């Protein structure tokens, strides 16, 4: 049995960030939380939220990441992705997939695409 806690952090004029997380059981560990060690990540860039779910679409983690005005959309996407994958692996995922509509992309492939986009932007900046 796991205890789900919801927290709200207030950031003044920036608004409220909501985080839902699972408290570790007395016995320790989260071995029963993700059967087969598979997690699914859904990113919502507009709202700045991510969800980590199991195979049955049961919610494991839901969290909000504040969008710093100094970040580009790509940098924010990276920050949201990193937070989501950290959460998935923290709760026992051995494999994780990013869900975008009907497409399930392994996190390694998703990160490779992010790196490619980041590299392209850096290379564009070298010629300006």
Domain tally for the chain?
1
pLDDT digits (tens, 9 = 90+) for 97-106: 999 989 999 9
pLDDT digits (tens, 9 = 90+) for 49-96: 999 998 888 888 888 888 777 888 899 999 999 999 998 988 889 999
Residue 1 has pLDDT above 50, yes or no: no
* Reported confidence tier of residue 123, pLDDT bands at 50, 70, 90: confident
Residue 68 and residue 77 in contact, taking contact as beta carbons nearer than 8 Å? no
Domain that holds residue 14: 3-126
The SS3 of residue 103 is strand
pLDDT digits (tens, 9 = 90+) for 11-63: 555 556 666 656 555 566 666 677 788 999 999 999 889 999 988 888 888 88
Cβ neighbour number for residue 43 with a 10 Å cutoff = 20
Residue 49 and residue 65 in contact, taking contact as beta carbons nearer than 8 Å? yes
**122: Cβ–Cβ under 8 A, 6 or more apart, which residues?**
none
Q: What is the pTM of this model?
A: 0.75
The SS3 of residue 70 is coil
Q: In this structure, what token pair is assigned to residue 100?
A: 């975008």
Q: In this structure, what token pair is assigned to residue 71?
A: 């970040």
The DSSP line for 2-66 is -EEEEEEEE-GGG-EEEEEEEEPPTT---TTTSGGGEEEEEEETTTTEEEEE-TT--EEEEEE--
Element (H, E) at 104: strand 103-106
């Amino acid at each position: 049995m796991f205890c789900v806690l919801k927290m709200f952090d207030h950031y003044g004029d920036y608004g409220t960030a909501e985080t839902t997380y699972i408290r570790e059981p007395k016995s320790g560990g989260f071995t029963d939380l993700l059967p087969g060690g598979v997690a699914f990540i859904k990113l919502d860039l507009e709202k700045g939220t991510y969800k980590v779910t199991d195979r049955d679409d049961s919610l494991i983690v839901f969290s909000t990441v504040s969008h710093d005005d100094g970040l580009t959309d790509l940098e924010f996407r990276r920050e949201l992705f990193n937070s989501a994958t950290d959460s998935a692996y923290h709760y026992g995922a051995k494999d994780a997939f990013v869900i975008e509509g009907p497409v399930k992309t392994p996190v390694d492939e998703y990160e490779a695409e992010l790196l490619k986009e980041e590299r392209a932007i850096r290379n564009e900046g070298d010629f300006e």
